[in-house]
Structure 1
Amino acid sequence: MSSANEPPSKSMKMASALDQLKAHTVVVADTGDFEAMKRFKPTDATTNPSLVLQAASQPQYAHLVEQAISYAKSHSSDLTTQVSLALDKLCVLFGCEILKIVPGRVSTEVDAGLSFNKEGSINKALKLIEMYKEAGIDKERILIKLASSWEGIEAAKVLESEHGVHCNLTLLFSFCQAVACAEAGVTLISPFVGRIYDWYVARGEKDFAMLDDPGVQSVTRIYNYYKKFGYGTVVMGASFRNTDQIIGLTGCDLLTISPSLLGKLEAAEQEIVRQLEPSKAQAMDIERIEMNEAAFRWMLNEDQMATDKLSDGIRKFKADGRKLEDLLRARLQAE
C-alpha cells in the first residue's frame, strides 16, 4: 500500500498545461524551426519573413537556400527577378518541409511591401500557390498571409471568392479590422495579442490580471462577435509575451505559439479552464456593425494603438524581407 507521503504515480499525474490547452484549442507553431515542430506536434504552422530569415541563416537549412538559388537562376538571367523568385521559392520550400511535419496547414506570407497594393497582393499570392502546386502541394493546405490593411482585406476577398485560396489576415490589432475580415469571408485572422500588450506597456501600464490584458480582451471581443453572428472566419490569437495571455484565451479557435512558450506550457502542470465558448458568445447582447471602407478607415484612425502597430508591423516585416533579399542577392552574385 502506498504511503500518503509518496508522490502520485505517473498515471495520476496532471496533464501538462499544453495538453489541456490542446483539448480546447488548435495549437499552431509560430516558428520556422522544424525540430521545434517535431517536438511540440502542432496541428498547423505559421511563418513570416522574420522567422524565415532566422531559419535561413542557420546551417541546417542551407540546402533550402541552395535550392531556391538554383530555381531562380534556372528561371531568369536578370538579378532583380532572380532575387524575387529565390525569395518566393525559399518561402515555399520552407512551407513544403513544414507540411511534412504538421498534419494541417502552413501559412506563407505575401511581401509586406504589397500591403497597400490589392492587385499586387493577389498576383503574388497566386504565384505562391502555383509554386506550391509545382511542388505537389494542394492549395487546401496553404494559407496565404496578408496584412490587415483595407487593400490586404480586399485582396483576400478576391482570393477567397474567385480563386478558392484560403487567407490568413495578419497584423490585426483592431476590432474594425476583424469585422472587415469577417465580412470579406476570409478563412482566418491572426490578432496580435503581444504587440497590443507592448503598446500599453510602453506607455507605463504593466500590471494586468490575466483576463484584463488588453491583447487578451481584444481577441476575446473579436471571438465573441464572430460566434454571436455566425461568421465562418476563425480566430487565431498570435504574438504572445507570456503563458497567461495564452491561458486567458483557452477555447479560442487556434493559437499560434512560439517554441519557448510551448516549452513553458509543456512544463506547467496547472489546471487550465476554458475561457472562450461559442454558446456563451451567442447569449451575449452584442450590436452588429456595418462595415465599409469609409467606416474602416475612420475606426482605424480613431484607434491610435492599432494605427501605430499596423504601420510598425508592416515596416518591420518589410525590413526583414529586405534582409532576406540581401542574403539571397549576395548568394546569387557569388555564384
Structure 2
Amino acid sequence: MALIADTLNFETLGMHDLHGTTINPRSIIGAIDADSVFYHLWTAVKQTLDERVRRRIPNSRLVKASLERFLFELGNIIMYRVDGPHFTMVDPRRHNDASSMVRNAQRLVSLFEEKDIRRSKVVVSIPATSEGLHAAQELESEHGIHTNLFLVSGLIHAAACAEAGATTITIPVGRLLNWYERKRKAAYKDLSTHPGVETIQSTLEYFRLHGIKTKVIGSEFRALSEIGPHAGFDAICISKDQADGLQRCQISTATLRLSSSAHLRARQAQYPTSFLSSKTGFMEAMSAETRSMVAATLFVPLGEMKAQMDSLEEIVEKEVVRQFELTLTTVDLKGFYGTPVKKRKSRVSDGSDSGRAGLKRGLAEDLGLEEVCSSQDTDDVF
C-alpha cells in the first residue's frame, strides 16, 4: 500500500518513506499557529494583494483568493519534501455547487502549473455529494484534472464515484466502523466479524471484479491495528502519530479472508451503473439504512468541515486586513490619497479594536473593500 501523509508537520514529512501527501481543514487549523505554516499564509496574502490588479481579482474575492493561494503555498512546500502526488482540496462548503467546485479546482491547478508542477502530480479532493460527482466527472473528462472523491460510505456510493471517472476515492474507515458499532450497539474485538469491514471488503472486491481503474484509499483509521486487515486498499492516509508508530513497529498486511457475503454483494451490485444520468441520483438506489450511513460518513463531517473552513477564512481575513494596515502605515498617505494626512489619521490607529474598526471602514470607503472586511463574503497516481 502507498502511504499518504495527512499532516503538516514538516519534520515528519521529511523523515518517513511516504508516497504522497494530503491537506484538509482539520490539519490546517491544527497547524496554523506554527511559524512554519503561518509564514505561508503571510506569503499567500501578500502575493494575492500584490497581484490583484494583474489577475483582475475583484475586491469581493480577495479573502477567498488568498485562501486558495494559501492551499497552493502549503502544497508547494510539501511537495519539496515528498515527491507527490499531492491531494489539495476545493472548499468543502461548496459541496452542493458543481460549477463552483470546478472553477475552484481549475484555479488551484493553474497555481501549481505556474510553478512548473505538472497537473498529473496534483489531485483535487472533492466531497462525494451528488454535485461533487458531477464536478469530478467534468474535471476528469473535460479538463484533464485528477480528482479524489472523499467521504465515500460504501459499495453503491463507491460505484457512483467510479462512474464519475474519479482518479481516486477515499473511504473514512473509522467513521464507517463507528457507524456500525453505534447502530448495532456492539463492539467488535475481532475485525473479521465487523460488518463495517465486510462493507469495505465488498467495495474493494467490486472494483477488482470489474477492473475499475479508480484507486481506493482508506483514511481516518482509529488505531494502527486497523491498518493491517485493510491491506486491500491501494493507499492509506496516516497521521503524524501513525507515521511515527509505523516506523517503530511491524504491522502484518495480511488481508482478511474475503467473506462469502462480501463476495456475493460485490457480484450482485449493478455494473456498469447509470447514476449520473439519473435525475434521482445515487441516493435513491440505497436502502434507508444505507442512506443513514451516508449521512453519518458524508454529511456529518461536511458540517464539521464547514465550521473549520469558517474559522480558517476568518484567520485569512484578519491577515488580509492586517497587511493592508501595514501598507497604510508605511506609505506616503498624502500622496496615496491626494488629501492632507490629518484628515486620514483616525484610520491608522495604535492597533486598538476601535482603531481596527476605523481602519476597516476606511478601507471600505477608500479602496472599495467592503467585502474584505466581512466573512460572508495522464499519469497514474500510484
Q: Fold-level match, TM-score > 0.5?
A: yes
The answer to whether the 8 A contact 1:250-1:273 is kept is yes
- Aligned-pair CA distance for 1:202: 4.1
- Aligned-pair CA distance for 1:217: 2.9
Answer yes or no: is 1:268 the counterpart of 2:249: yes
Distance 1:276 1:258, change over 3 A: farther
Aligned pairs for 1:169-180 within 5 A? 169-180=149-160
- Aligned-pair CA distance for 1:97: 1.1
Equivalent-residue separation in structure 2 for 1:80 and 1:61 (angstroms): 25
Report the secondary structure of 2:148's partner residue: strand
Letter in 1 for 2:212: Y
Residue 83 of structure 2 is matched in structure 1 by 103
The range that moved more, 74-83 or 143-152, is 74-83
- Aligned-pair CA distance for 1:160: 0.5
Residue 27 of structure 1 is matched in structure 2 by 3
Distance 1:268 1:323, change over 3 A: same
- Aligned-pair CA distance for 1:285: 7.0
The answer to whether the 8 A contact 1:145-1:168 is kept is yes
Pairing partner for 1:212 from 190, 193, 196: 193
The answer to whether the 8 A contact 1:250-1:276 is kept is no
Equivalent-residue separation in structure 1 for 2:103 and 2:266 (angstroms): 41
Aligned pairs for 1:314-325 within 5 A? 314-325=302-313
Distance 1:275 1:38, change over 3 A: farther
Equivalent-residue separation in structure 2 for 1:185 and 1:109 (angstroms): 17
Letter in 2 for 1:286: R
Letter in 1 for 2:9: D
Q: What RMSD over aligned residues (CA atoms) do the two structures have, in Å?
A: 2.3
Distance 1:215 1:57, change over 3 A: farther
Aligned pairs for 1:48-63 within 5 A? 48-63=24-39
Answer yes or no: is 1:44 the counterpart of 2:20: yes
Distance 1:276 1:161, change over 3 A: farther
Residue 258 of structure 1 is matched in structure 2 by 239
- Aligned-pair CA distance for 1:299: 3.4
- Aligned-pair CA distance for 1:78: 5.8
Distance 1:308 1:283, change over 3 A: closer
Where in structure 1 are there 5+ consecutive unaligned residues? Answer: 1-24
Identity within the alignment, %: 24
Residue 136 of structure 1 is matched in structure 2 by 116
Query: Cα deviation per residue 1:228-280 (whole Å; 9 max; x = unaligned)?
Result: 00111010111110122211111321111112122222222354424489xxx
Report the secondary structure of 1:332's partner residue: helix
Pairing partner for 1:152 from 132, 141, 146: 132
Where in structure 2 are there 5+ consecutive unaligned residues? Answer: 324-382
- Aligned-pair CA distance for 1:295: 5.4
Equivalent-residue separation in structure 1 for 2:166 and 2:93 (angstroms): 21
The answer to whether the 8 A contact 1:252-1:276 is kept is no
Equivalent-residue separation in structure 2 for 1:216 and 1:125 (angstroms): 32
TM-score computed with the length of structure 2 as normaliser: 0.75
Query: Cα deviation per residue 1:27-63 (whole Å; 9 max; x = unaligned)?
Result: 1111222221112221011111211222222122222
- Aligned-pair CA distance for 1:88: 0.4
- Higher relative contact order by CA 8 Å / sep ≥ 6: 1 or 2? 1
- Aligned-pair CA distance for 1:284: 9.4
Letter in 2 for 1:75: E
Equivalent-residue separation in structure 2 for 1:301 and 1:131 (angstroms): 42
Residue 183 of structure 1 is matched in structure 2 by 163
Equivalent-residue separation in structure 1 for 2:298 and 2:142 (angstroms): 27
Equivalent-residue separation in structure 1 for 2:120 and 2:282 (angstroms): 29
Report the secondary structure of 1:45's partner residue: strand
Residue 10 of structure 1 is matched in structure 2 by none
TM-score computed with the length of structure 1 as normaliser: 0.85
Residue 228 of structure 1 is matched in structure 2 by 209
Equivalent-residue separation in structure 1 for 2:38 and 2:199 (angstroms): 39
- Aligned-pair CA distance for 1:79: 5.4
Q: How many positions carry a matched residue from both structures?
A: 308
Letter in 1 for 2:284: W
Equivalent-residue separation in structure 2 for 1:117 and 1:49 (angstroms): 19
Equivalent-residue separation in structure 1 for 2:30 and 2:115 (angstroms): 23
Equivalent-residue separation in structure 2 for 1:264 and 1:312 (angstroms): 29
Pairing partner for 2:221 from 236, 240, 265: 240
Equivalent-residue separation in structure 1 for 2:148 and 2:302 (angstroms): 15
- Aligned-pair CA distance for 1:297: 1.9
